Structure 1
């Protein structure tokens, strides 16, 4: 693996003495005319803690046992006289208890992230192959996201409509004896036991899922809505995040939400319509005698439903750059959504229409075919994404640090789709086991209900088992690699600190430095996790070529093993059973984590940290994904900094970790006249090491060069032991790459031995506590912009607390 996290220059263990600010009246006034605006990283924190305004401060020891004294005013200032503000945005992702259950929406989030991972540039005026590949990539991700919504609804319908209403209800008294609480659906004396009414009751579950997703998306859109500033930023094609409307995504998201809700509702409507329509047609395509009006009405409803669903699918492909065109498309999508809602109501009446002699047999008609067809479409879309990404990488030639040669986006989309399928399979498969009372679908017990989920889910259970084996192999390989990396770091640590290799401290530092390089393994890990997708995509493409898109041709173990018997068959059966068990355990774990996060704030913050990384981008692909906090955070930061700079107050934007990404996005949104009054400090920043590599269309050396020209000064602090941060590379005058100062990484730990007055050695900080490092104060003094003339009054609006 490339050693990109290594320092460009090693240095001694002695901490550099920070430059002591002069106390002359002019320089003190300059400091007082500046504000240090800190933006925290993932999982947030309390505002008081971030501001360092607690009455007591630790002056020695550590978090377990330390020495404290009353805090003085100078203790809360990085530089004398410079006010400090904190932008605390953690509650946008980890504040409300209910947001812990966003874990279930992780597949949606991954599809949305994949949309922004395209390897091509986003400049205007694209033509030819570039334009075709860009359109294919965006359309492929949006259609894949739409298919994922349909997959989740099919899973809910598989439990409510297929297993409960159709199969269990069709078993009659046998179902009543096993599950007495279902007597209102299965008992012959119940008016709801008729197939049509039973289906309508079973549709409540998928309908509830649709309503919850719809309501959640609409509510978060209202909570995150902001207004734009009066002065737009200077837009540059080198920096797509400088577009004035980049963080105004409400109209596009509303249009996509209408389309997704329309497809979700049409999925439920199709499952309500197909069983009675097939009955009216006699099951073989010929109408039953004596019911011409009924089957004709059903055929008309089917045609209308297919037409409106097709238009809703096409609507997600409409580009949203032109405001007027986007507004018209939004109105059209709302009309299509409302039309499908009306059609569903009519289909419900058609479904419950009395049909003498209509009896339930087998699985729910149409559900297996829809599921198999959906998997085939998803496999085709993944192939389209792979081809589009390869073309974009070859034609556009993004910077040389791009991860996976441009295939990170399609890989993330495929992994999100696989995860959504695994969640769906676990839900249906475990639901069938619980409802039937069987220990296993492959070896049912004598007294359990004969329920049969779609056999396509068994393929996903098999993939889940393969995934578990791959994860174990990856963990073993990483452990072996880490062991070798630690040994490789030992000579560097001994040379750097002039200490013996036998000291445990030397090994601890070497291990931390090796851990700091673990991020370089992400592309290989992502590629390994995608291996189960290969047989699934192959199966889907084979189904398309051969036309064998039937509800359930055979069980997955039999399909794989073919004529092999004995050990091979037993092994495949065991893997399917293991996949079922792991899927159920994953669902239980998600529920447990959600419940713990609901009650416990630290757990909720840990869960929220996942969204801090994954929900930075606007919902341009999947509108039902967790909301983008940056859509609110960046405009808020921009408005605050613009006002301070407009009143001649210098601003030092200080961003840690994910906060540095928000700070950079804020600078790109500032008007041009703010450039000489705003400076930037990034510490522990993933701008280059993660965002530049995985989002090359929006971050990279060219974009960082543009960012550097929009601020008075920029310093970047990082450590070799930090697995997230690294040097930030920008393009030089001759096209070569140069590093944003500071070039050298910060020493970690600051000293090998315990400092005077302490009994413990300094801890290895890694990704944390950059603001406590002496180099931070030095960088603050170096970037401090000139404010208003000395002696000018300080506006009380911006006085710190």
Structure 2
């Protein structure tokens, strides 16, 4: 019996035929879906690939996803809580805190549209003419401000119908898109990616928050009509204070999340850090645009609203974080070495028996970068801490104690930080949009951008409906059906996942029955299951769920084999440090072996030459360990 190998690629868009190691003309399309497809080698139908990359890179509006980044970060924050065993009460409190933060973010974003559109544009700029023009200007401002949430609600509803309304899976039990989220629901639940009813309810709640926010704006406009400025920013001060209070409470709730792997040091209070980052980005960039518009429109600085009192703290945060990032990179550079590799002694015209001095230095650099990249989630916590610290300092400096009721001193018009805010903060948004747009022309840049978006859009929209739509609502159920169909047809299957593809296959296999898993061999390589997802989302990819899947899949077609390299900045061990029957370290550069692995005649992927280069995150399919694992999986599945 010929057991098929079913490959699932990683980030970076659609890899096409390169996923199978053959040119495009040597592939055939087995199944064509909307933005996804299954392809196979024309000469060896046993090797197939699931191409899902267009789900995240084929949207012409992808650069505009940057504008939805704060909402997406809030949504991700809700999934970064500790393990379910940490306590039901703490988990509920954490989730409610994230929901409150999401509602406050919606309110603050709508207030910024009102501040810029109604107060600065309509009342103070157009309203200078006086009379009817002032009324018309305010009406125009209300129309512009209301258009933003209307657009967000429309986009959320359209993408909900296209992504959240998934079809029933195969071989894992029925799905019910109308079911509600349960307390302890994790990836092992068939319903995890099928909660359309919950998203519709969430949309209604945020629609209500938007209406209440605009009702408050209308009341302020009515009360303040005739003044030099409408002072809509006073509402923002209240929302901003509540945001800081909720972040502090969230940090206390999840300071020490459980589920960490041995030897893996993850970031503390990641949900609070993600919320802080979302709040800083949203309020900072909006405040920057407000200052920029005020300057261009000639709004006098003494009429700048109280909402700009913290404008300087956003600039300070960005600068300090950039300095901290540079220090963090320098401190981790050169920490690793390659002293374990033998030196080359053979002449250049003969096969190498070790590494040259230059190659040894390159291996050391790659190992250092990989070790640093595995600790990158800690940078989010660093940003959050700097933002909160700078915000507190700015508050202390801006409080006017001479007033009977303490007021706020507006930032000086000509200060260096105020000028920087008008350029730097809007520039962050514009630069990010241009970066995503430019990534379509650069493979390296596309992989970096895709990696960030694929992590952020992996999670369903449970906490904020304005988040970027999740590709997994389509990819995971479809992948589950493909795996189940092949297991039932062939009697067995080897599932092979690279990088983000290993995360997708983990999510697809988790809800399957033990009988189905016994017919699957699971091969992962360059996998961020532990190095990234296990750190950030311990309840879903922590030690317990990973060990549970490894235990359930072990009795069948050879179980789970995970390949990793010390030079891989993304992949690593899936069961943490120490000896493991699952994890297998692959030497990089490739080493000469006493007996070369016998390749099958139809195998187009040659073995990597020994002592030649550093592969890092790529070319696992050309390793002896990879081919040996596939051979063992097929042999064992054939005996079942």
User: TM-score if structure 2 supplies the norm length?
Assistant: 0.83
Question: Does the Cα contact within 8 Å between 1:428 and 1:453 map onto a contact in 2?
Answer: no
Cα distance change of structure 1 residues 411 and 494 upon mapping to structure 2, 3 Å threshold: farther
1:348 maps to none
Aligned to 2:478: 636
Q: 1:328-367 to 2 correspondence within 5 Å?
A: 360-365=226-231, 367=232
Q: Tell me the residue number matched to 1:532.
A: 387
* Correspondences of 1:669-680 after superposition (within 5 Å): 669-680=511-522
Show the counterpart of 1:199: 138
Matched, 1:159 2:14: no
Per the alignment, residue 226 of structure 1 pairs with 166
1:650 to 492, 503, 514: 492
SS in 2 for 1:513: helix
Equivalent position to 2:4, from 35, 45, 50: 35
Query: For 1:429 and 1:207, how far apart are their aligned partners in 2?
Result: 21
Matches within 5 A, 1:323-722: 360-365=226-231, 367-390=232-255, 393=257, 403-404=265-266, 406-436=268-298, 452-483=303-334, 485=335, 488-493=336-341, 503-530=357-384, 531-536=386-391, 553-556=408-411, 573-593=415-435, 596=438, 607-711=449-553, 712=556, 713-722=559-568
Alpha-carbon spacing, 1:162–1:514, altered in 2? closer, same or farther (3 Å)? same
Deviation at 1:693, TM superposition (A): 1.8
Shift of 1:715: 0.7
Deviations 1:530-567 (A, max 9, x none): 212124257779999x9x99896212479xxxxxxxxx
- Name the residue aligned to 2:63: 100
Residue deviations 1:125-166, cap 9 Å, x none?
x9xxx3332121101111111111122222222221111111
Distance change in 2, residues 1:450/1:582 (3 Å): closer
Taking a change above 3 Å as real, the CA distance of residues 540 and 148 of structure 1, as seen in their structure-2 partners, is farther
Q: Kindly state the Cα deviation for residue 372 of structure 1 after the two structures are TM-superposed.
A: 0.5
* Alignment correspondent of 1:169: 126
Question: Which consecutive unaligned segments of at least 5 residues does structure 2 have?
Answer: 27-39, 176-181, 346-351, 597-605
Name whichever of 774-783 and 755-764 sits farther off.
755-764
Query: Does the C-alpha gap of structure 1 residues 149 and 718 become closer, same or farther in structure 2, counting only changes over 3 Å?
Result: same
Measured after TM superposition, the shift of residue 608 of structure 1 is 3.6
**Separation in 2, partners of 1:682, 1:505:** 27
2:616 is equivalent to residue 766 of structure 1: yes
Selected match of 1:50 from 12, 16, 19: 19
Give the direction of change, closer, same or farther, for the CA distance of 1:205–1:238 in structure 2 (3 Å limit).
closer
Distance in 2 (CA, whole Å) between partners of 1:541 and 1:204 is 36
- Cα 1:691–1:541 change in 2 (3 A) is farther
Residue of structure 2 in register with 1:356 after alignment:
none
- Alpha carbons of structure 1 residues 550 and 374: separation in structure 2 relative to 1, 3 Å: farther
Please state how far the C-alpha of 1:626 moved relative to its aligned partner: 0.5
Residue in 2 aligned with 1:749?
A: 589
State the secondary structure of the residue aligned to 2:49: strand
| 8 Å CA contact 1:97, 1:597 repeated in 2 | no
CA–CA distance in 1 between the matches of 2:202 and 2:237?
Answer: 25
Does structure 1 conserve the Cα–Cα contact (< 8 Å) formed by 2:344 and 2:355? no
Conserved? CA contact 1:719–1:726, under 8 Å: yes
| Equivalent in 571, 574, 593 of residue 728 of structure 1 | 574
RMSD: 3.9
Change in Cα spacing, 1:785 to 1:628, as seen in structure 2 (3 Å) is farther
Write the distance in 2 (CA, Å) between the matches of 1:227 and 1:140. 32
Question: What are the superposed Cα offsets for residues 167-221 of structure 1, whole Å, 9 maximum, x if unpaired?
Answer: 113322xxxxxxxxxxxxx6x5xx4x143x4322111222121122111111111
Contact map agreement 1:615 1:626 (CA 8 A) in 2: yes
Question: Contact (CA 8 Å) 2:398, 2:410: kept in 1 or not?
Answer: no
1:398 & 1:532 partners in 2: Cα distance?
Answer: 26
Q: Which residue of 1 aligns with 2:54?
A: 91
How far is the alpha carbon of 1:606 from its aligned partner? 5.5
CA–CA distance in structure 2, aligned partners of residues 704 and 228 of structure 1:
25
1:640-676, Cα deviation, whole Å (9 max, x unpaired): 1112222243211111101101001111122332122
Higher relative contact order (CA 8 A, sep 6+): 1
The offset of 1:452, in angstroms, is 3.5
Q: Say if 2:170 and 2:480, in contact at 8 Å, map to a contact too.
A: no
What is the CA distance between 1:268 and its match in structure 2?
2.5
Q: Is the counterpart of residue 133 in structure 1 residue 86 in structure 2?
A: no
Q: What SS does the aligned partner of 2:524 have? A: strand
Aligned partner of residue 538 in structure 2, secondary structure:
coil
Q: Secondary structure at the match of 2:620?
A: coil
Q: Distance in 1 between matches of 2:404 and 2:612?
A: 64
Say which one has the larger Rg. Answer: 1
> What is the CA-CA distance between 1:239 and the residue it aligns to?
8.7
Deviations 1:697-727, CA, capped at 9 Å, x for gaps = 1122321221123322111011000011111
Q: 1:590 to 1:725 in 2, by over 3 A?
A: closer
Distance 1:638 1:135, change over 3 A: same
Counterpart CA distance in 2 for 1:643 and 1:470 is 49
Q: 1:435 to 1:598 in 2, by over 3 A?
A: farther
- Alpha-carbon distance in 2 for matches of 1:85, 1:550: 70
Query: What aligned pairs does 1:281-300 form with structure 2 within 5 A after superposition?
Result: none
| 698 and 267 in structure 1: CA distance in 2 versus 1, 3 angstrom threshold | same
- Structure 1 residues 542, 403: CA separation in 2 closer, same or farther (over 3 Å shift)? farther
Q: Deviations over 1:413-470 (max 9, x none)?
A: 212221111121122122222222xxxxxxxxxxx76684324324133332332133
Residue by residue over 1:621-650, the C-alpha shift from the partner in whole angstroms, topping out at 9 and shown as x without a partner, is 111101111121111111111122222432
Does structure 1 conserve the Cα–Cα contact (< 8 Å) formed by 2:72 and 2:457? yes
1:211 has 2:211 as partner = no
CA distance in 1: counterparts of 2:455 and 2:95, whole angstroms: 21
Structure 1: tracts of 5 or more residues without a match: 1-29, 58-74, 173-185, 280-358, 437-447, 559-569, 731-735, 791-801
Q: Secondary structure at the match of 2:497?
A: strand
Contact 1:153 / 1:206 at 8 angstroms: preserved in 2? yes
- Matching residue of 1:312: none
Q: Distance in 2 between matches of 1:454 and 1:87?
A: 53
- For residues 361 and 629 of structure 1, what CA distance do their matches in structure 2 show? 49
Q: Secondary structure of the residue that 1:727 maps to in structure 2?
A: coil
Distance 1:81 1:194, change over 3 A: closer
User: 1:287-320: CA deviations, max 9, x gaps?
Assistant: xxxxxxxxxxxxxxxxxxxxxxxxxxxxxxxxxx
Task: Report if the CA contact (8 A) 1:109-1:625 is conserved.
Answer: yes
Q: Deviations over 1:106-134 (max 9, x none)?
A: 1111111111111231x6xx9xxx33321
Mark the CA change 1:112 to 1:759 in structure 2 (over 3 Å): closer, same or farther. closer
**Local SS of the residue matching 2:103:** helix
**Structure 1 residues 477 and 232: CA distance shift in structure 2, 3 A:** closer
**Against the structure 1 CA distance between its residues 550 and 653, is the aligned structure 2 distance closer, same or farther, given a 3 Å change threshold?**
farther
Secondary structure, counterpart of 1:363 in structure 2: coil
- Cα distance in 2 for residues equivalent to 1:783 and 1:84: 13
Question: What SS is found at the alignment partner of 2:218?
Answer: helix
User: Contact 2:259 / 2:542 at 8 angstroms: preserved in 1?
Assistant: no
Q: Secondary structure at the match of 1:112?
A: helix
- Structure 1 pair 457–540 and aligned structure 2 pair: CA distance change class (3 A): same
